[in-house]
Every structure is written in structure tokens, then in C-alpha cells.
Amino acid sequence: MIETPPRRSDLETNEDASWGYDFIDFVDYIGAELDPWQKRLSIHLGELDALGRPIYDTAIIMVPRQNGKTVWTRLLIAYWMTQEQVPTILGTSSDRGEAKRSWDEVVTMMEGNEALAETLPGKHTTASNGYESFFNSYGSKYRFAAPNRRAGRGGTLHRWICDELREHRNRDCWNAAMGAMAAAASTEAGALAVCISNEGDENATVLHTEADAAELFAQTGEGNPRTYFAAWRADSDADPEDVEQLIKSNPGLGHRVSIDWLIGKGKAAKAAGGRDLADHKTEHMCVRVDRLDAAIRPEDWAACGVRPDRVVDITQHRRRLVLALDIAHEDAAHATLTAAAVIDGATHLQVVKQWQGHDARAQLRRDLPGLLAKARPRKLLIQSGGPAAAIAAELQQRSGWPAGVRLEMLASEDVVRACMGLEEQAAARQLQHPFDPLLDKHVALCERLPQGDGWRFSRRGPAPIDAAYAGAFAVHGARALPVLAEYRSAYDDHS
């Protein structure tokens, strides 16, 4: 488990150190029960400062499915309504329908519990024009909303249960609810947003932004001290059948979820591979998988990275050197030139140059001949039929094209081999790269697009992946070079 460290040394021994102890007593009083992890979470989230004031006004809590997070939030809402008697509570979920289902369950729970039912007037729900509210005799009101820019609008909001933050694709709901809570921060009831979610895919931008910032504070002390962070998750390279990793990521084991069930699901996911395996690790191990069907596993790519002091200057091995070029097809606003060489059995891959902006092609036309003349590679590889092919073919016909550089066009089947080859080299740990930010980013964006009996790179969203393609081409070309004991290039004849 990763969490924000407590400020108080007596947090787990002094019941005056957290409102979480009062919440645990409340749950016991109404005849309900909390799992051990839920009790611990409540105590740490509810930590109070020396003056008895809540330390946190926001919580980012990450836990896999089927561990009891929804039950915990229902009980927390009942506590807020009856014990803290806060004026307004909002619940959101992945969509309005899910938020209403959670709202219905809270209403049913409180109506069916003898102790909680005593706090309700005869009429305790209202519904008008799509606006539904649940209230008690203390004036506390709980309503729900769709996760959009209207959530929380129209009044002061004191508590917000944000279930499944991973489903937020933009900040509209976050900004609306947080804005509605600003005025409550100075009131006696205060303000608290509890965001509880499983891990999400690469589209879970709000979750990742907020969770990364909260985790940074938890680990370094840098950032917002009023945000609490807790995450139960397995290691990124964890085996779905690893019992220790399943225990680490599923705090409800033995209470709400079975280890045998998880192992069985993990075995099936491993057999299926691809998206099924990625989904399983996200849903049941709370592992962030940047691409649900990643062309190259993040752990394989990371394992091939080398420290700056170990990076080989491959330009000194020009007899083994191959360069490759690719241009982003969509808007041609980004292009990348890469280099690769097989040295002592390892394939070294590096970025030579990138061009970006509306004039990227003009920059490329200007720079490419000089870069080739300086590097003096055996050949330049480019995908046939693409924008880079037209530019390179044109430049080759002009004066100034470096002697000795052979232009090689890759057919579609060669592109498939190149993409699969880069993945194979990474998986076999035969690749070395210097953690270049551009190359790292583009490789992380790549998914597998089936083509014939193989696959090539594809990506979800508008971001370019030309650096990944250029890298794959360069590695493909370098590995295809014949191993010659003696090789005399045209440069030797012209030097």
C-alpha cells in the first residue's frame, strides 16, 4: 500500500486524533461492519491537527474492484448525514445512472436500518425535473448528478463522493464540484471530496493528474498537503497469479474476494494475453497500463534503457550504422530521424533529430542532407508510399545528397516485420536505448494493429508515433546488415 504518511505519531493509538474512530463507532452502532482495510483508511483519512481540525479536504483513493469501496462510501454518507449533519452531499459516478443506483442504495439502506430510519421524516425524498434529493430531520441533503460541468452547480457543496474518477475524460465535473466546495471550506461543516476509483487506462487523464500529484506529495512532501492519497496496487510487472501481489493489491481478500477466484481469473487473462490481460491487471490489480494492448510492454522497454554514462556513440560505428526517417501521416507536423547499430550483439537505438511545427517538412528538407553527411550511415530506411518517401526521393535526386548513402524503401510487409522486430528485441533484452523522452513517449502510445499474420503499430488518439516507427525501421535495417570483417564505404573513397 502507498499512502500519505500521517502527521501525528499517535494517530493509531489516540482516538482523539481522527474522526475515523467516531465513524467506526457509528458503523458498529448501526449494526454494520467494516473490513480491516476500511477501518484503517477511515482513521488515516480522518486525521485531525492539534486543534482538532481535519487535515485533509481531498482524498484520492485507489483500490481494485470487488473490495468493498462502494459499501464504505455508502456508510460514510450515512455518517455525514446523521453524525456530522452536513448540509449538502453530492454523489457522482461513471454516469448519471450509476450515481442514481448508488443514491437508491443509500436511501434503501437508511430506510431499512432501525437506528438510521429514526433520523428520517415521513417524506424524505423529492424528485422534480430530473432533480432528486434525499434528506433527513437534521437538514442534511444528499443528491446525485451526472459527471459533467453542471455537477455541484447552484449552491455550496460540503461533501462530494466521486466514484470512478477514472471515467472522467475532462476536468468539467472536477472543476464544477471543487468550485462549489470552495465556499464550504470556511464553514463549520468544512469541505471534503472523497474520490475513490480503480485504476484507469490512458484516457483517465483527470485521475492520473490528481493521483500523480497526490502520490508525489506522499513520497516527497512536495505539493498540496491537504490531499490524502492511498493506493492498493500490484507492481507494474506483477504476474496475475502471484499470490503476494494479489494480497498487496486486494485489501478485501478473505472478506469480499477470494484468492482462488483471482488466481483463476488471472490464469485465464494470461492465456488470452493482449487487451484481456491488460484489463485484468487494471481491474483486479490496480495496475496502470498505459496502453491496454501495448505493442511493446512498458516493463520490457524500461528494462532496455541505459544510463547516460553507458550510452554508446553509435556514430563511431558507421559501418554498422543505419538511419531511418518517418513523418506523422495525419498532419505532417512532426517527423523523426533515428539511428541504430548492432554492436557486440546488442542493437543500439537513438534519436538523431526531430522536427515539429507547421514547417516541419521544410525543416526536414533543409537538414536531412547535412545530417546524413555527418553520420555517414550505410543506408536510410523509409516507409514506401508515405510523405517521408516522397521527400527523400526528391532530395536524393538533388546535388548535395551524400555519396554512399543508399535509400531503401520499406514495403508494407517490411513495416510489419520492423514493428514486430522492435518488440522482439525489447522482450529479449537485446535492445539498448538512452531513455530519450520522445522515443519513450511514442513507444508508450503504440498499440498493435493486426495486419495479415502479424501486426504493425497503431495508436489511439491524435498524438503522433513517428519516432516509434522510425526506431523500428532503424533497428530492422541494422539487424539486416551483413556482418563484414572488412567493409569499405564510398566515404572511404571520398575522404
pLDDT value at position 380? 94
Residue 484 in this model has a pLDDT that exceeds 90: no
Helix (H) or strand (E) holding 356: strand 346-356
pTM: 0.66
pLDDT value at position 272? 84
Which of 38-47, 134-143, 375-384, 385-394 is predicted least confidently?
385-394
Which of 54-68, 142-156, 217-231, 251-265 is predicted least confidently?
142-156
| Interior angle at CA 405, CA 400 and CA 411, nearest 5 | 115
Evaluate whether the domain defined by 2-231 bears CATH number 3.40.50.300. Answer: yes
Locate the domains of the chain by residue range: 2-231, 243-285, 298-480
For residue 116, give the C-alpha cell.
Answer: 438510521
Residue type, 91: G
Q: CB of 181 within 8 A of CB of 158?
A: yes
- What is the Cα–Cα distance from 401 to 410, expressed in whole angstroms? 20
pLDDT for 157-197, tens place per residue?
999 999 999 999 899 999 999 999 998 988 888 999 999 99
Does 298-480 match 2-231 at the fold level?
no
Cross-strand partners of 338: 324, 351
- What is the Cα–Cα distance from 108 to 218, expressed in whole angstroms? 37
pLDDT value at position 403? 85
Q: What percent of the chain has pLDDT over 90?
A: 72
**What is the maximum span of the chain, computed from C-alpha positions, in angstroms?**
98
CATH ID of 298-480, from 3.40.605.10, 3.90.1150.10, 3.30.420.240, 3.40.50.1370: 3.30.420.240
